[in-house]
Amino acid sequence: MTQATEQKPLQNVDASEIAKFEALASQWWDKQSQFKPLHDINPLRLNWVDERVSLSGKRVLDVGCGGGILSESMARRGAEVLGIDMGEAPLNVARLHAEQEGVTTVSYRQCTVESLAEEMPASFDVVTCLEMLEHVPDPSAIVAACYRLVKPGGQVFFSTLNRNPKSWLFAIVGAEYVLRMLPRGTHDYRKFIRPAELARWVREAGLTLNDMTGLHFNPVTGRYWLAPNVDVNYMLGCTRVKAD
């Protein structure tokens, strides 16, 4: 009789997704590159978070930070920021850019959010996880880990893409094939997340949903803005009300 061996759980990462952004790492801070949309929307998402938490003086975790566009901008607002990602090349780019710009209140680590939740529970005033949930196998586990990492009374912010025909048309056909704003294959429609699904994961994790808003784009004018409609891109903010 053979004895069954215990299998360790797989990390909640998608190697193909990491490889996409590894290959583009050198372009993260080129505002005319394929990361131009991230640079264009960053002031909107940064201000939306800052208006709700007053970033200055806060300890912030940025989950899925990539090359550090949001992480560094939050540090410039006076926060002490830790950015985490599983891509080594984007993190190296993020570290180099912060050093070149003299931003000393941001640091970066290559680790999963689940492992950090085990190491540093209830350690952050604010947790951001933007444009990341649609790139992992189990987004609900990311939400739960973000809950564990934020302090009681702290706030967590998510952004992702809705799953419906309109979002498929705008985020994939329009952005990747027609306007070529993003590389083809950047998104997988099957991984898009309906607001009701994300709201359920938020509640199940123990977070209280506070705000939800949509991110909109006019391809003629190139203008981005926030408005209540959440048919395509959307962001939501939550609070961890109680300690465990």
DSSP 9: P
Query: How high is the mean pLDDT in each 10-residue block of the chain (244 residues)?
Result: 37 80 83 90 97 98 97 98 95 94 98 98 98 95 98 98 93 82 84 97 98 93 95 97 79
Task: Please give the Cα distance from 215 to 235 (Å, whole number).
Answer: 7
Q: What is the pLDDT of residue 154?
A: 98
- In angstroms, rounded to a whole number, what is the distance separating the alpha carbons of residues 139 and 36? 25
Q: In this predicted structure, what is the pLDDT of residue 22?
A: 79
* Residues sharing a CB contact under 8 Å with residue 122, sequence separation 6 or more, in sequence order: 148, 149, 150, 151, 152, 243
Task: Characterise 163 by phi-psi region: left (phi > 0), alpha (psi -120 to 50), beta (else).
Answer: beta
The pLDDT value recorded for residue 4 is 35
Q: What is the pLDDT of residue 179?
A: 75
Tens of pLDDT, residues 131-145 = 999 999 999 999 999
**What is the reported pLDDT for 186?**
83
Strand order in the sheet with 233-240: 106-110, 80-85, 59-63, 124-130, 150-161, 233-240, 207-218, 223-227
Amino acid at 168: W
Buried b (16+ CB within 10 A) or exposed e, 42-71: bebbbebbbeebebeebbbbbbbbbbbbbb
Say if residues 176 and 191 touch (Cβ distance below 8 Å).
no
Instruction: Render the burial of 79-98: b for 16+ CB within 10 Å, e for the rest.
Output: bbbbbbbbbebbbebbbebb
